[in-house]
Every structure is written in structure tokens, then in C-alpha cells.
A and B are shown apart, each in its own frame.
Chain A
Amino acid sequence: MKRYLALMILAGVLVLIVLNLPGEGQKPGGEGPEAKGKAAGFSLPRRQTTLTFVERKGKTLYDFYCVLCHGATGNGDGFNSFNLTQQPAKLADPHLLAKLSDAQIMAVVKKGGAALGLSSQMPSWGSLFKDQDITSLIAYVRTLSKPGGE
């Protein structure tokens, strides 16, 4: 009888140890903060953006400099676009963006339109932006033509 009791205790302890072990279910990609946890009136901060860090950096530049002509959504309809003799490039157009390589966009931003035989109303930004800035700008501009992009 005593033996059985000892075995029972042993089994119980083993079970406890096993339960205490780390779960094997941890998989990469799981994200925590937006989990449910809904209670009346209580809300969790929504993630404001799906952009990556680099794209967000590009967006900051875009929203300050480019937006005036190219428009907030990249439709070439910015506040100042109506004063130009040639409509600014529609950066939200997937066909246009598919044709352009990163190097080509980089060149237009850096040297301006005139240097590449495009509209001279696109100024050159090379002395103002670092290459790294333009890289992040390109990363953001590419999100404009993606479905569901910002």
C-alpha cells in the first residue's frame, strides 16, 4: 500500500514538473500587443501604420517635400500640381512603378527631371538629401502603389 502511495506522489510530482516546462508552441512571428482583451470602453492603441521603420522614415520626407505636388496618396494631385504645366508622376500607379528601378527613381530625385529629359519642374534634391534618405523615400513610394498601401 505504501509503495502505491509513493508511486502516486512520484507520478504527481513528475506531472507538475512537466507542466512547468516551457511550451514548445512558441513560434516566430507571433505578435502580442494587439491581442483581444476587449472590455467595454477599454481600447488598446491601434497600430497606426503597417509601414516598416525605413518606410516610415521615407514617409516623413515625402509628407514634407513631395506631397505638395505628388499628392498624399501619390495620385499626382497635390495642392501645387494644378499650377504645373505637366502633371507630376502618379506614384500610386503600379504600372509606372513596375517600370522604374530603384536606381532610376534615385536618379530622378537626385538630379531632378531636367537632367533626365523629364519635366524641369521636378527639382534636384541631391544636395539636400543623403542617399540613405532617398533610399527610404523610395521604399515608401513603393508602398503607395501596393493595394492596401497608405
Chain B
Amino acid sequence: MALLVLLLFIGQLWKNSNPSYLAYQKQFKSLLIQKAAQKSKDPEFRFGVRQRWIEKLKKTDRCETCHLGMEDPRFQNALQPFRSHPDVGGHDFEKFGCTVCHGGQGLATSRNDAHGPVENWNQAIYHQAFMENSCGLCHGEFIQDQAPVLARGRTAFQEHGCRGCHLVRGKERIIVGPPLDRMTQRVKSDWLYRWILNPKAYLPKTKMPNPKFSPQQAADVAAVLFQGGKSLEVKVGQPTAEGKKTFLDSRCVSCHSLEGKGGILGPELSKISSKMVPDRLIRIIKNPHELWAASQMPIYGFSDQEILKIVDYLVGEYIDLELDESQAAAQARMVQAGNKLRGKELIEKQGCTGCHTQIEGVKDRGEIGLEMTAIGAIHISHLDFGRIRVAPQDRTVPNWLYNKMKNSRLFKTDLKMPDYAFGDREAEAVTTYLLGLKGQEVPAAFSLPLGVKPSSFAPQGKFGRVVDKYRCFTCHKILGRGGEMATDLTQEGSRVHRAWLEKFMKAPDTIRPILVERMPPFKIQASEIETLYTFFEAALVDDRVENLTGTIKENALRDPALIQQGKNLYHQKYACQACHQINHQGGLIGPDLTKVGDRLRIEWILYYLRNPKAFVKRSVEPAFKLADKEIEAMAAFLVSSK
């Protein structure tokens, strides 16, 4: 017996003196000797555990016990675990450690335990794909360019209305879908049935997920939605060339697509007559905001006659040619015979109210999905892999979420969550965002928010009404609020001449050929342009530009010699024509500079040439360091171009 105990003791001793990391450390030491030999100096190497204790983050990381070359640039191309860590500017290892970004078990000293997954030890290491989830912990929820995958995931999470069903504490619930009232006055019942059955079949780019209803269920749900009284009968005339012209000239395709080509903000129009009731089309074009307050569509200044002509054209030309009439009639009958009681039950149970309001007779039951506040810190044992057999090393939280995003019904069939069918790229982004929701905050010393928080600028009064009517914020940013699609208007008063704005607003021409979206001709009234410019001029200016006003020598700028000098600079030294056009000559990246003096104020041109990145930070424009004389010459040439 005594012998047995002794042997056990010896065995344990041996085991302790031979920890799993020792093999790595021996290997590393021999590599170190090799590398040092070139300098004929004996390396110092101490065997044993390396540990960093990051007290404030409550992290204890022993990763460097094996990742020995981390801070040694000589190991730049070494195989793992010895490769040196890339320079990630400012992320001092001493301050942050490893696991706060990478995940994994900091305390472990064997490869499997450290990288996981290990039973009852939660944190599997993040794959390269999901790494960016950790960035938000210190850098806040508006981080953009520094963590592009995370930023994409955040946008997808918002735009797909995930927050409608899933509670995330501290984030406002947003209902993204349109209200569903008075559907009889809006769409055709057979279309509604097909849409509910599979939205992507009609519009591949739609954000509406597939609720995975059976045909009968889809008919029942459609029956509930298809209520709301009769719509006005409208006599639809033959499509006319006039209607076509108005439709095309109005640049509807900036937002709407035709057979998949065009913008993505509005619904597809190429099969619109098989979907919409003509009266509704008329009313949408007339005033979309009255029907859906959150609609992004501007109110055009069309006359009633023009609207009728557009609708004639849409209804007459954009028909679903693949639609089988008898099948459509059968679908309409199915909806008519649908069981409203069952449909209502389905709508409530499946959570349609997470995205849609105003469904007749159905109450919003709030967030019916799982709370997501700390989904990134969930223990793997809470996630059910169901009928799918997954190898133990792949049973991780990131992998579960990733697959759920790609197919919401993968693990279990009779679930409520509809199928978003995200592709690899989107699933990766959304998973990254979800993993970042950890429901915890770092100490203030670690917090360094990046990116820009959108402002809540809400203009009131006359100017506010114009901005609201034309939904300027959809594309333009003003004082920190609005879209990225078009020019930021925050300094518009310092930038453009009143006369140019008046002309442009009446008939917008193309300034930036590289943009896909075009400013639509709204048929705006003269008084509204006046309101816009008055506000621009008074409030949307930058004093650094305005202060130049007294300093400009107008006469000197008209000097032909100076103009010629500027012309040479433009065409030869700086080759501006590589990106800009003047009279159809030149590249298509920057704005067209033909008659740019009519558009831009001279103060703006001068200031811009000196500090091209002062206002437009995310532009591809190179920043030349022009001498004062060069700036003057260039400005003289630009304003002289007619």
C-alpha cells in the first residue's frame, strides 16, 4: 500500500514538473537560440508560467506562457503559437492583456483549455471572423471604420428590426415595417398571399424575413390582414409617353428598383400593377407621409393630372408577366376563405407585431423574443443545438449564433423566429454584433468611444417643414443627423451661391457622377427654396470660410496671367482632370468643375484648396499641400472657367 502511495506521489510530481506548455517553451527556447546565434549572444530564457493580471478588467491572462514571441518582432513570420502580435496601435498588452479582445480562458495553461470550448468554462476563443465584437466594449456603439464588420452587423440588426422582438436594455425599440391597416384599399389579395408565403420571391432584396407559413396558414394570415373597406374605383387610362417621361425624369429609380436595378430604399416597381390598387398608388405619390409617417419618400410637387399619368404608366407597363391569372384567382379565393381566427392566432404567436403596427384586431405584445442584452456572454449550455449533431470543438456560442442567422429554423423547426436567410457575410456581421452585446461596461479609464453619435437635430418652423416634406435627411446630413448618400449640408451656406441653389433645386443636374443616387427634381416651390437658402445662409455656415470675405482681391483673380498659371497647375502639376471634369473632359470621381464659380463661393474655393479635409473627411481626394500663390492661381482659374 505504501508503495502505491509513493508511486502515485512520484507520478503526480512528474506530471507537475511537465506541464503541457513546457513542450512549447522548450521549442521556443531552441528557436530563440537559433535566432540569437546570428548575433552570437546567449538568450535569456526562464521556464515557467507567464501571467498578466489586469485588475480593473478582472482578467488574468496566461496566454504568453505559450505565445512567447508576442512582443518580439523577430518572430513576425514564425508559426503559431510563437508569432509576434501585429501592431494594433495603442493597445498596450500591459494595460489590456489578451482575453478582453480575443476571448478564451486566460487562466488556462494548455492549448485545449485556453482556446476552448471546455465544458463549464464559457468563453471559446473568437474566430478571426468575429474578433471585432470586442471593439465595442471600450469603443462604444458608434464605432465605424475601425471595426467595419461590427458596424455592418449593427446596421443589419437595426434595419432588419431585430429590436422589435428582442429586448436590448438601453436601446430603443424600433418598429421597421409599414403599418398594415386598410389593406383592401392598398394591395391585391392574391399578391398579399404570395408575399406572406415568401417575400423574397417577389423582392429578393427585401428585409422582410420568411415567416415560413404553410400555404393554408399564409391564406389565414392574409385573410386577417385583408380588411379595411373598399377603395375608390379609379379609371386607369392607357400608358402615355408623357407619363413615362414624368416617371423617368423624376428619378424614381434613385430609391426604387426596376427588375432589381436601381435604389434600395423603396419597394420594387417592375411588377407594381400586380400588387397595388391604383387608387393607393395615386395617394402614395400625392402624400406618402399621410399613409405612413415614417415613410422616406418625399412629397413631390406633382399636379393631380401628372400623378394620374404616372399611375397610368406604372399600371400599364409594370406587370408581373410570370403571373398565372387562374392561379392568382385561386389564391384570392383562398384568402377569401381563410380562417380569420386561426390567422389572428398565428399573427400574435409568430410576432408579426415586432415589425408591423395597426393590424386590425391584433394587439402588440411587445418583445416576444429572447432578451439580447447580454447574449454575447450567454453560456453555451443555454443554447440548444437540437437535432443537429455538432462536433464538441464546434459547439460554441459564436458558431450557434452564426448558424441561427443563416437559418433560423436549423436547430428546431416549430420556432417563432422567421427566417432571415442571411448570407455568409451578413451572418458573420450580425453574429459579431450580437457577441458584442455583453451587458457589461468597462471602467471609465478604458472607455474610448469612437465614431460619431447621430445628433437629434430636429429643425422646426418653416425650414423644418420643408426638410420634412422632402425628407432631406434620407440622403443628406445636417448638423450630425441624416444619411451619408449625398453631400453633408452643414456648411452649405458657406459653400454655394444663392442663384445656383435656386437653379439646382428647380432642375438638379449631376454634380457627382460617381454617385448612383441622384437628387430627384421635387418640383419644389420658389418660396420653399427661399426658406432653405435663408436658413443655410444664416445658420449653416462656417466662420473660418466667412472670415475670408474681406481679404479677397477680386481684381487680382481676374488677371489672365494668374489664370494661365492656375490652368497649368490644374492640368499639369496636380493633374486635377484625372478625377474632375471641366466641359466633359476628365475623370468621373470628383464633382464636375464646369462653371464651378457659379456654384461655389470664392471664399469656399480658397478655404477648401488649403484644407481639403476640413469638412469632408471621408473623401478620396488627395490632400496636396498647395502654396498660397498656387491656391490663388488655382482659384482664379476655377472661377474663370465658363
Which residues in A have some Cβ–Cβ distance to B below 8 Å? 6, 9-10, 13-14, 17-18, 20-24, 26, 28-33, 35-37, 39-48, 52-54, 60, 64-65, 68-69, 79-80, 83-84, 112, 114, 119-121, 123-125, 127-128, 132
B424 within 8 A of A: yes
Give the contacting residue for B587; candidates A23, A42, A60, A84; CB below 8 A: A84
A18-B15 Cα distance, complex, nearest whole Å: 9
How close is A31's CB to chain B, nearest CB, in angstroms? 7
B578 within 8 A of A: yes
- Beta-carbon contact of A127 and B624 below 8 Å: yes
Contacts of A33 in B (CB 8 A): 125, 127
A121-B579 Cα distance, complex, nearest whole Å: 9
Contacts of A60 in B (CB 8 A): 145, 148
- Beta-carbon contact of A45 and B624 below 8 Å: no
**Which 10 pairs across A and B sit closest by C-beta, in order of nearness?**
A37-B391, A22-B20, A53-B86, A123-B622, A29-B79, A121-B578, A83-B587, A37-B394, A17-B11, A120-B575
B239 within 8 A of A: no
- Beta-carbon contact of A44 and B399 below 8 Å: yes
- Beta-carbon contact of B8 and A13 below 8 Å: yes
Contacts of A13 in B (CB 8 A): 4, 7-8, 11
8 A Cβ contacts from B116-138 to A: 125, 127-130
Contacts of B115 in A (CB 8 A): 32
Contacts of A30 in B (CB 8 A): 80
Interface CB pairs A-B, < 8 A, 8? A13-B11, A35-B391, A37-B394, A46-B129, A48-B428, A54-B86, A120-B572, A123-B575
- Given A41-B388, A41-B407, A123-B624, A35 contacting B394 (CB threshold 8 A): yes
- Beta-carbon contact of A43 and B624 below 8 Å: no
- Beta-carbon contact of B578 and A80 below 8 Å: yes
B614 within 8 A of A: no
B402 within 8 A of A: yes
Contacts of B444 in A (CB 8 A): none
Nearest B residue (CB) for A125: B622
- Given A9-B4, A26-B23, A80-B587, A127 contacting B625 (CB threshold 8 A): yes
B506 within 8 A of A: no
Give the contacting residue for B24; candidates A9, A26, A69, A120; CB below 8 A: A26
Q: A17-B11, A37-B391 are in contact. List 17 more A-B contacts (CB 8 A).
A: A6-B3, A9-B4, A17-B8, A18-B11, A28-B27, A33-B127, A35-B391, A35-B394, A40-B388, A41-B388, A41-B410, A42-B403, A47-B127, A120-B574, A123-B575, A128-B622, A128-B623
A43-B88 Cα distance, complex, nearest whole Å: 30
A64-B7 Cα distance, complex, nearest whole Å: 66
B321 within 8 A of A: no
Nearest A residue (CB) for B88: A53
Contacts of A48 in B (CB 8 A): 128-129, 428
How close is B104's CB to chain A, nearest CB, in angstroms? 11
CB 8 Å contact bits of B1-43 with A (1 = contact, 0 = none) = 1011001100110010011100110010000000000000000
- Beta-carbon contact of A28 and B80 below 8 Å: yes
- Beta-carbon contact of A6 and B1 below 8 Å: yes
Contacts of B111 in A (CB 8 A): 26
Q: What is the predominant secondary structure among interface residues of chain A facing chain B?
A: loop
8 A Cβ contacts from B595-627 to A: 613, 620, 622-625
- Which of A46, A54, A123 has the most CB atoms of chain B within a 10 A radius of its CB? A123
A54-B87 Cα distance, complex, nearest whole Å: 8
- Beta-carbon contact of B399 and A45 below 8 Å: yes
Nearest B residue (CB) for A36: B391
How close is B550's CB to chain A, nearest CB, in angstroms? 29
Which residues in B have some Cβ–Cβ distance to A below 8 Å? 1, 3-4, 7-8, 11-12, 15, 18-20, 23-24, 27, 78-82, 86-88, 110-111, 115, 125, 127-130, 145, 148, 388-391, 393-394, 398-399, 402-403, 406-407, 410, 424, 427-428, 431, 514, 572-575, 578-579, 586-589, 613, 620, 622-625
How close is A97's CB to chain B, nearest CB, in angstroms? 19
Nearest A residue (CB) for B19: A22
Give the contacting residue for A45; candidates B88, B428, B620; CB below 8 A: B428
- Given A6-B1, A121-B575, A35 contacting B20 (CB threshold 8 A): no
Contacts of A84 in B (CB 8 A): 578, 587
Give the contacting residue for A21; candidates B3, B18, B579, B620; CB below 8 A: B18
- Beta-carbon contact of B391 and A21 below 8 Å: no
Contacts of A83 in B (CB 8 A): 578, 586-588
Give the contacting residue for B390; candidates A42, A79, A128, A132; CB below 8 A: A42
Nearest A residue (CB) for B389: A39
Nearest B residue (CB) for A84: B578
- Beta-carbon contact of A68 and B622 below 8 Å: no
Contacts of B12 in A (CB 8 A): 17
- Given A43-B406, A124-B622, A10 contacting B3 (CB threshold 8 A): yes
- Beta-carbon contact of A127 and B623 below 8 Å: yes
A83-B594 Cα distance, complex, nearest whole Å: 16
Nearest B residue (CB) for A24: B23
A94-B428 Cα distance, complex, nearest whole Å: 33
How close is B585's CB to chain A, nearest CB, in angstroms? 9
- Beta-carbon contact of B390 and A39 below 8 Å: yes
Contacts of A29 in B (CB 8 A): 79-80
Contacts of A128 in B (CB 8 A): 613, 622-623
- Which of A18, A30, A33, A112 has the most CB atoms of chain B within a 10 A radius of its CB? A33
- Beta-carbon contact of A28 and B79 below 8 Å: yes
Give the contacting residue for A6; candidates B4, B8, B86, B574; CB below 8 A: B4
Give the contacting residue for A47; candidates B82, B129, B402, B624; CB below 8 A: B129
A29-B428 Cα distance, complex, nearest whole Å: 25
Contacts of A47 in B (CB 8 A): 127-129
A125-B623 Cα distance, complex, nearest whole Å: 7
Contacts of B406 in A (CB 8 A): 43
Contacts of B127 in A (CB 8 A): 33, 45, 47
Contacts of A125 in B (CB 8 A): 622
Contacts of A24 in B (CB 8 A): 23
Nearest A residue (CB) for B427: A45
A121-B573 Cα distance, complex, nearest whole Å: 9
Contacts of A121 in B (CB 8 A): 575, 578
Contacts of B390 in A (CB 8 A): 37, 39, 42
A128-B624 Cα distance, complex, nearest whole Å: 9
Nearest B residue (CB) for A67: B620
A83-B592 Cα distance, complex, nearest whole Å: 14
How close is A55's CB to chain B, nearest CB, in angstroms? 10
A103-B574 Cα distance, complex, nearest whole Å: 23
Contacts of A41 in B (CB 8 A): 388, 403, 407, 410
A119-B587 Cα distance, complex, nearest whole Å: 15
How close is B428's CB to chain A, nearest CB, in angstroms? 6
Contacts of B407 in A (CB 8 A): 41
- Beta-carbon contact of B575 and A22 below 8 Å: no
Give the contacting residue for A123; candidates B7, B20, B574; CB below 8 A: B574
A37-B572 Cα distance, complex, nearest whole Å: 60
A102-B399 Cα distance, complex, nearest whole Å: 40
Contacts of A21 in B (CB 8 A): 15, 18
How close is B90's CB to chain A, nearest CB, in angstroms? 12
- Which of B78, B588, B622 has the most CB atoms of chain A within a 10 A radius of its CB? B622
